[in-house]
Structure 1
Amino acid sequence: MAETLTKPIVEDVSLKDLKEGLADGSIVLVDVREPHEYAAGRIPGSTLNPLQSFNTEALPPPEPGKRIVFSCRSGRRSITALGFAQAAGRNDIRAHYPGGILGWEGAGEPVENVESEFGR
Structure 2
Amino acid sequence: MSDKILHELSPTEVKAKMDAGEVVVIDVREPREYGAERIPGAFNFPLSTFDASALPTGGKPVILHCGVGKRSAMAAQKCFDGGAAEATHMAGGLGEWKQAGLPLIVTDPETGQPELKG
SS in 2 for 1:89: coil
The share of aligned pairs that are identical, in percent, is: 34
Q: Which runs of 4+ in 1 moved over 2 A?
A: 6-9, 113-117
Equivalent position SS for 1:113: strand
The one of 6, 13, 21 equivalent to 1:10 is 6
1:3-42 correspondence to structure 2 within 5 Å: 6=1, 9-42=5-38
Q: TM-score, normalised by structure 2?
A: 0.81
One-letter amino acid of the counterpart of residue 67, structure 1: P
How many aligned positions are there? 109
**1:113 maps onto 2:109 in alignment:** no
The structure in which a higher percent of residues are strand is: 2
**Which ranges of structure 1 fall in alignment gaps of 5 or more residues?**
1-5
Deviations 1:5-50 (A, max 9, x none): x475310012221111110110110000000000000011100100
TM-score if structure 1 supplies the norm length?
0.80
Structure 2: gaps of 5 or more residues:
none
The structural deviation recorded for 1:90 is 2.8
CA–CA distance in structure 2, aligned partners of residues 15 and 104 of structure 1: 5
Counterpart position of 1:80 = 74
